Amino acid sequence: MRRLAVLSLHTSPLAQPGTGDGGGMNVYVRELSSALARAGVECDVYTRAWSDQLPATVAVEPGFRVHHVPAGPLQPVAKEALVELVDEFTANVLALMESGAGVDPALHATTSFDALHANYWLSGLSGHRVKHELDLPLVCTFHTLARVKAEASPEERSCDEPHRRAEAEAEIMQCSDVVLASCRVEAEQLAALYGTDPQRIRIVAPGVEHAYFAPGHRPQARRALGLPEAGPLLLFVGRMQPLKGAHVAVQALAELSAAVTSPPPTLVLVGGPSGPRGVAYLEDLRTLVEQLGLTSRVCFVDPQPHELLSSYYRAADVCLVPSRSESFGLVALEAAACGTPVVASAVGGLTTLVEDQVTGLLVDESDPEAFARAVARLLQNPALADRLAVGAVAAARRYTWRRAAATLVETYSELADAPLAACR
């Protein structure tokens, strides 16, 4: 395996996670591409250009380049409207791949690609065509699934993506040589909800960069961030949209008032608005904080550079992950690697990532009272919190980007010797 084309149409691995359409997928594409490059695989990532100030190609590190591909206006475009730009994006990606433009001078311009890795359904649409144009094996990671998301957030079903998304996902899966799942639960969803052949599904868990995300001194982290040094501190990290459940964290804080006395707990919310209702949701969240009389105890923090999030995890007593749906849950993994106990919804990949009573606590429903009870249990029982923290750090060590890259290199190499999967 020498060279890989990575498609990430709707969001760039260079973009700030935690706002707009940037989140765990940004981290996934960037860290996995970096790990693959260090393993000797040349990675060219193709993403849509959203500004006329962007260079055509960014050499992130040796063997890892990001290409900004013109498609539509050179400005941000709502994710639900990007499907109209897929054809233009695909045509320009094909031109770049065939011309050798933007390659490292040390890499011969005629070095061909060995495989194609598409991320999210929009990139999958593009990857489907590129596969057939260039006769390359296609690997797809979907990150979220329309049929899972529709069950978790029915109120967003009509505005989040076009109704064709689920059907497009199914078509892409049928043409993919391999469909990647982050965990066993996602693999089961791919097979049950989309009829994907289990033989084409590979489980490749994301990783965490342990050089950044590791245990540290809680008081020092709080001082460095200017956060209250006294009293319990709760943390939420993620995009501000109903699916991620920041409102549940706020309501849980209100419920905790009766269980945790002086000094009262503080909640830090790190992230920015995302999706069609993101701005309105953030405003509603601020209003909710005021109505509950929590203004002095809730701190809104803009999205942070990924490596700096570790200080927030170390500063917190508990990290809340009240999502309605998660294919994996990078926030939970990063918090665990920092030795911060996680209280998470028992949904999707969180049920495989968080081992209840061992590395954190799982809550059956995204219910504020249930989350408050779980948090109070940890705050009132320091021995339990310490035990979960130790278990979380030990479990997190199993997840590395290097291991994920090694598994993918094997997968890509297997595909090189196999006939391409035919569309059904």
pLDDT digits (tens, 9 = 90+) for 395-421: 999 999 999 999 999 999 999 888 999
Task: Indicate whether 423 belongs to any domain.
Answer: no
Same-domain pairing of 115 and 233:
no
pLDDT band at 159 (very low <50, low <70, confident <90, very high): low
Question: What is the identity of the amino acid at 298?
Answer: V
**Tokens standing for residue 349:** 């990949």
What is the model's pLDDT at position 258?
65
**Which pLDDT does position 422 carry in this prediction?**
86
* Calpha distance 230→158 (Å, rounded): 45
**What digits encode the pLDDT tens for the residues 18-43?**
666 667 889 999 999 999 999 999 99
Does the pLDDT of residue 174 top 90, yes or no? yes
Does residue 212 lie in a domain region?
A: no
* Nearest partner of 273 among 243, 313, 253, 235, judged by Cα: 243
C-alpha distances (whole Å) from 394 to each of 99, 109, 211, 258 are 47, 44, 15, 33
- Token couple for 377: 């249990």
Mean pLDDT of 252-281: 85
Q: What is the mean pLDDT of residues 222-247?
A: 94
Same domain, yes or no, for 168 and 120? yes
In the three-class reduction of DSSP (H, G, I as helix; E, B as strand; rest coil), residue 217 is classed as coil
Do residues 7 and 121 touch, judged by C-beta distance below 8 A?
no
- Confirm if 52 and 70 have CB atoms less than 8 A apart: no
Rounded to whole angstroms, how far apart are CA atoms 351 and 218? 27
User: Span 282-298, mean pLDDT?
Assistant: 95
* Summary mean pLDDT of the chain: 91
- Describe the strand order of the beta sheet including 318-321 as a list of residue ranges: 298-301, 266-270, 233-237, 318-321, 342-345, 360-363
What pLDDT band is residue 78 in, cutting at 50, 70 and 90?
Answer: confident
Q: Let me know if residue 158 belongs to a domain.
A: yes
101 & 125 share domain: yes
Residues 187 and 258: their CA atoms lie apart, in Å, by 41
Inter-residue contact 104 to 42 (CB < 8 Å): yes
Query: Do 177 and 114 sit in the same domain of this protein?
Result: yes
Q: Is residue 385 part of a domain?
A: yes
pLDDT bracket for residue 1 (50, 70, 90): confident
Residue 381 resides in a domain = yes
- The CA distance from 230 to 218, in Å, is 11
| Together in a domain, 230 and 192 | no
Of residues 46 and 15, the one with the higher pLDDT is 46
Neighbours of 290 (CB within 10 A): 10
Question: Do residues 120 and 19 both lie within one domain?
Answer: yes
Is 252 in contact with 320 (CB distance < 8 Å)? yes
Q: Is the pLDDT of residue 256 over 80?
A: yes
Place of tokens 């206006």: 73
Q: Is 262 part of a structural domain of the chain?
A: yes
Residues in the chain: 424
CATH number at residue 238: 3.40.50.2000
Beta carbons of 406 and 34 less than 8 angstroms apart: no
- Specify the number of domains making up the chain: 2
Q: What pLDDT is recorded for position 111?
A: 67
Considering the domain architecture, whether residues 406 and 367 belong to the same structural domain is answered as no
Say yes or no to pLDDT of 151 above 80: no
Residue range(s) defining the domain that contains residue 126: 3-207+400-416
**368/256 Cα distance (integer angstroms):** 9
**40 and 20 share one domain:** yes
**Same domain (yes/no): 337, 388:** yes
Q: What confidence score (pLDDT) does residue 19 get?
A: 62
What integer pLDDT is reported at residue 35 of this predicted model? 97
| 273 pLDDT more than 80 | yes
Please give the share of the chain, as a percent, with pLDDT higher than 70: 92
Query: Strand (E) positions, 183-341?
Result: 201-203, 233-237, 266-270, 298-301, 318-321
CB 328 within 8 A of CB 205: yes
Is residue 213 assigned to a domain? Answer: no
How many Cβ atoms are within 10 Å of 127's Cβ, its own excluded? 28
Residues 11, 63 within the same domain = yes
Residues 311 and 267 grouped into a single domain: yes
Q: What is the pLDDT of residue 368?
A: 95
Query: What's the whole-number mean pLDDT along residues 270-278?
Result: 84
User: Over 60: is that where the pLDDT of 105 sits?
Assistant: no
- Nearest Cα to 180, choosing from 146, 206, 153? 206
CA dist 369 and 298 (Å) reads 18
Question: Are 194 and 224 members of one domain?
Answer: no
Instruction: Round to the nearest angstrom and report the end-to-end CA distance of the chain.
Output: 27
> Which of 9-18, 151-160, 340-349, 362-371 is predicted least confidently?
151-160
- How far apart (Å, rounded) are the C-alpha atoms in residues 67 and 50? 12
% of the chain surpassing 90 pLDDT? 79
- Would 321 be classed as within a structural domain? yes
Confidence of residue 156 (pLDDT cuts 50, 70, 90): low
Q: What is the mean pLDDT of residues 261-275?
A: 87
Question: What does the alpha-carbon distance between residue 188 and residue 199 come to, in Å, rounded to a whole number?
Answer: 12
